[in-house]
Amino acid sequence: MPDDVRLTVRERVATLLLDRPATRNAIDRTVMARLAELLDEIDVGVERGEIGVVAVRGGGERVFISGGDLKELALIRTEADAVAMSRTMRSVLDRVATLPVPTVALLNGDAYGGGGEVAVACDIRVAALDVKIGFNQVALGIMPAWGGIERLTTLVGRGRALHLLLTGAVLTAGEAAAVNLVEIAVPRQDFEETAGGLLTQLAAVPAAPARAIKSLVGSVSPASSPELAAVASSEFARSWVAEEHWAAVEAAARRRAALRAAAVGPSAP
């Protein structure tokens, strides 16, 4: 397995780092498999009392997770394969959401599409104020497939969730904090200190009360909805194979190519 998804554990703080600069920290099926392996290691560490909190972050300072790796995922062309991909990553994020220890998304960069779904799978979100977050899958003619619809709705409410999901609106960290999508938003220069302080504080909570608190909160506001997995994956797969989706993907590729060309400028005569 490549080492662009790494796990470190220090002083009961486990950090999952997705470091794929060439793809803006995007998720493909290899990454999904690697995350599942690392969650197995986290499960062991939690049971041994070696892990008291789990943090998820992206490499660099510009992007948390940009979503699915469209170049690799474009190979998926059947409903059955789309369902399988959706269920695989949904199960990974369900495992993150239901870990017995607290989980924290460190939004050190922008989170779009699937990146937003990863963020809301965590219990707490800490963001630098210059970060943006958006569930903009609708721009590609698809819908969130990894449990993000249910988790977003739990956080921000029905009407706000519908607005964000149907318009693909992108929020600043401050705006996200105002609608309960982000718990802590701080200036960029204070981000690392704030995040580190929170992780240290959470790691110091004794295991028994930490587990009990998270379990009871989960009983009031469930972090996963397994009963919705089948219908959500099926509806996603139907939109994935639709002509509208692939037309939107091609249009987005043309826009990116045009922006790259404009940035390079005209060729020399």
Q: Where are the domains of the chain?
A: 5-234
Q: Which tens digit of pLDDT belongs to each residue from 227-261?
A: 999 999 999 999 999 999 999 989 988 887 888 78
Q: Radius of gyration (Cα) for the chain, nearest Å? A: 18
pLDDT of residue 263: 76
Tell me the sheet residues that pair with 54: 14, 103
User: How many CB atoms are closer than 10 A to CB 259?
Assistant: 10
226-231 contacts, C-beta under 8 A, 24 or more apart: 226/94, 228/150, 229/87, 229/90, 229/147
CA distance 21 to 60: 8
User: How many CB atoms are closer than 10 A to CB 161?
Assistant: 21
Question: How far, CA to CA in Å, does 162 sit from each of 121, 148, 212, 241?
Answer: 18, 12, 32, 23
Which distant-in-sequence residues (6+ apart) come within 8 Å of 230 by Cβ? none
Q: Which tens digit of pLDDT belongs to each residue from 96-126?
A: 999 999 999 999 999 999 999 999 999 999 9
CA distance 194 to 92: 27
Per the structure block, which two tokens stand in for 179?
């609608």
pLDDT of residue 61: 86
pTM: 0.94
Q: Render each residue's pLDDT in the chain as its tens digit; 269 residues.
A: 458 999 999 999 999 999 999 999 999 999 999 999 999 999 999 999 999 999 999 999 899 999 999 889 889 999 999 999 999 999 999 999 999 999 999 999 999 999 999 999 999 999 999 999 999 999 999 999 999 999 999 999 999 999 999 999 999 999 999 999 999 999 999 999 999 999 999 999 999 999 999 999 999 999 999 999 999 999 999 999 999 999 998 998 888 788 878 877 665 44
Termini Cα distance of the chain: 46
Determine which helix (DSSP H) or strand (DSSP E) holds 93, and give its type and residue range.
helix 79-97
CA distance 250 to 253: 5
| 3 state SS of 61 | coil
CATH of domain 5-234: 3.90.226.10
Q: Which amino acid is at 44?
A: V
Closest to 32 measured CA to CA, from 66, 5, 64? 5
